[in-house]
Amino acid sequence: MALTLRKNTTTRASTALVLTALLAAGCAQGADDTSAPPGNPPTATPHGYVEGAKESAEQQSRLLLGDPGSGDTRVLDLITGGVHRTADVAGATRLASDGRFGYFDTPRGTHVVDTGAWMVDHGDHVHYYRAAIRDVGDLPVGPHAEVRSDATVTAVTGRDGRTRLYDRTELEDGEVPAARTLDGVHSGPVVPYGEHLLAFTGDGRSKQLTVYDREGGRVASPDAECEEPRGDAVTRRGLVLGCADGALLVSADDGAFTAERIPYGEEVPAKERATAFRHRAGSDTLTAPAGDRAVWVLDVTDRTWKRVETGPVVAANTAGEGSALLVLETDGALHGYDIATGREASATEPLLATPGKTGAGGPVVEVDRSRAYVNDPAGKRVYEVDYNDGLRIARTFDLDIEPRLMTETGR
């Protein structure tokens, strides 16, 4: 595979090797040397074992990339730097991910690629895995479907508001499973959360929050409405749903759901509302464009919105927890803003000669625990940026495709 890696000083790969060694040492120290005599291996399945996968001590980050014009797709392994050719997916207009699978929105339906990298969060600890990359196939749901997933179910909602439910464990086996249909018509995506399914139902501008069990039966739901719902994100604090007056935060506790409003606190024109959230997986700080020249930052923990005035916005994201707000602007540079003060703190040289449009199909900023990634379709490259070091360009990956679509997995 044609790939040129231009690398600045970075310790990511060496850190992975060190942490892997520490994990192995830690497991060895925790073993009971007297538990089994020679020739009689233990039969218990080790905690965290997944058949066909390797567990690692560090996040196994990968980028799934797509070129809608040629149909070429690639998986870029950010640990090894290797590039893997994957399925031909022509005409894709959007790319979504649940942390492992990539979902290409095409005129024929939703095409699924297993990137072979994922995380399992047990609350007090996490497990990171890597496995073979493979093409799963098409979900026959029509174009422009909304896909949301958790560890057990993938919900795919079509433009007609009808939702099909797929067993995610069968997707993990590389098969497209038979679908179950969720009764009713829904406004926007159906979101798996808290071992249930959450959706908006009803007519008119204001929609009612509805909760289903995994079999599709309605259960007790909070008395909560959302006017003109758009945008959603799952955080550790709950499910955030965008509404005309701000956001609705839905939390689950032992199967009981509550809803809390997080209002903007002011009248916000429709074109400046937060309708598409982006954040680092595991973070409780969300970003969304606020019109053409500003970005909303929603601190879910503090239940506060902050509007940061920027230059013309192409894409935005943040790692949260005191990190900078990262904004790709129409000058082609990545800018870092102090969220507390709203002031620009750093910026790169122009990375993209033609930054393109905001939203689906345009460049994005993906963020993980230590790096940010920006795709440059016209330049056929991806930039890795150390946002903790003044937006230093850590690595540049030159590719053989135009990566117009990009998402990160393994987190």
Residue 100 lies in a domain: yes
CATH number for position 98: 2.130.10.10
Who contacts 25 (Cβ-Cβ below 8 Å, separation ≥6)? none
> Is the model's pLDDT at 314 over the cut of 80?
yes
Q: Which whole number is the average pLDDT over 243-270?
A: 97
Edge-to-edge strand list for the sheet holding 304-309: 285-289, 294-299, 304-309
Residue 20: C-alpha distances to residues 25, 50, 56, 129 (Å): 9, 17, 6, 12
Lowest model confidence (mean pLDDT) among 147-151, 211-215, 353-357 = 353-357
Q: Which whole number is the average pLDDT over 184-208?
A: 96
Q: Which whole number is the average pLDDT over 220-232?
A: 97
Which residue segment(s) compose the domain that 153 sits in? 52-409
Residue 77 lies in a domain: yes
Residue 21 lies in a domain: no
Give 333's pLDDT tier (boundaries 50, 70, 90): very high
Q: What is the tens place of the pLDDT at every residue in 352-367? A: 998 876 666 789 999 9
> Is the model's pLDDT at 184 over the cut of 90?
yes
Q: What is the mean pLDDT of the chain?
A: 90
Q: Is pLDDT larger for residue 40 or for residue 80? A: 80
Q: Which whole number is the average pLDDT over 50-54?
A: 84
Residue 42 lies in a domain: no
Give 407's pLDDT tier (boundaries 50, 70, 90): very high
Q: Which whole number is the average pLDDT over 132-160?
A: 96
Residue 357 near residue 313, CB atoms below 8 Å: no
Q: Which whole number is the average pLDDT over 251-266?
A: 96
Give 19's pLDDT tier (boundaries 50, 70, 90): very low
Structure tokens at 323: 């990190």
Number of domains the chain is built from? 1
Comparing C-alpha atoms, which of 407, 353, 358, 361 is closest to residue 380? 353
> Is the model's pLDDT at 5 over the cut of 60?
yes
> Is the model's pLDDT at 300 over the cut of 70?
yes
Give 14's pLDDT tier (boundaries 50, 70, 90): very low
Q: Which whole number is the average pLDDT over 52-68?
A: 93
Q: Identify the pLDDT of residue 16.
A: 45
Q: Identify the pLDDT of residue 192.
A: 98
Structure tokens at 139: 């979900």
Residue 30 near residue 103, CB atoms below 8 Å: no
Give 43's pLDDT tier (boundaries 50, 70, 90): low
Give 1's pLDDT tier (boundaries 50, 70, 90): low
Cα 409 to Cα 401: distance, rounded to the nearest angstrom? 19
Structure tokens at 281: 């997986």
Residue 173 lies in a domain: yes
Residue 20 lies in a domain: no
> Is the model's pLDDT at 10 over the cut of 90?
no
Q: Which whole number is the average pLDDT over 192-217?
A: 96
Comparing C-alpha atoms, which of 107, 71, 111 is closest to residue 95? 111
Residue 90 near residue 111, CB atoms below 8 Å: no
Residue 108 lies in a domain: yes
Q: Is pLDDT larger for residue 14 or for residue 409? A: 409
> Is the model's pLDDT at 122 over the cut of 70?
yes
Contacts by residues 243-248 (CB-CB < 8 Å, ≥ 24 positions apart): 244/205, 244/270, 244/273, 246/305, 247/274, 247/298, 248/209, 248/224
Who contacts 201 (Cβ-Cβ below 8 Å, separation ≥6)? 184, 185, 186, 187, 207, 208, 210
Residue 241 lies in a domain: yes
Who contacts 251 (Cβ-Cβ below 8 Å, separation ≥6)? 237, 238, 239, 257, 258, 259, 260
Q: What is the tens place of the pLDDT at every residue in 381-403? A: 999 999 999 999 999 999 999 99
Q: Which whole number is the average pLDDT over 94-98?
A: 97
Task: Name the strand (E) or helix (H) holding 172.
Answer: helix 168-172
Q: Identify the pLDDT of residue 52.
A: 81
Q: Identify the pLDDT of residue 361.
A: 73
Q: Identify the pLDDT of residue 409.
A: 98
> Is the model's pLDDT at 410 over the cut of 60?
yes
> Is the model's pLDDT at 18 over the cut of 70?
no
Q: Identify the pLDDT of residue 355.
A: 82
Give 50's pLDDT tier (boundaries 50, 70, 90): confident
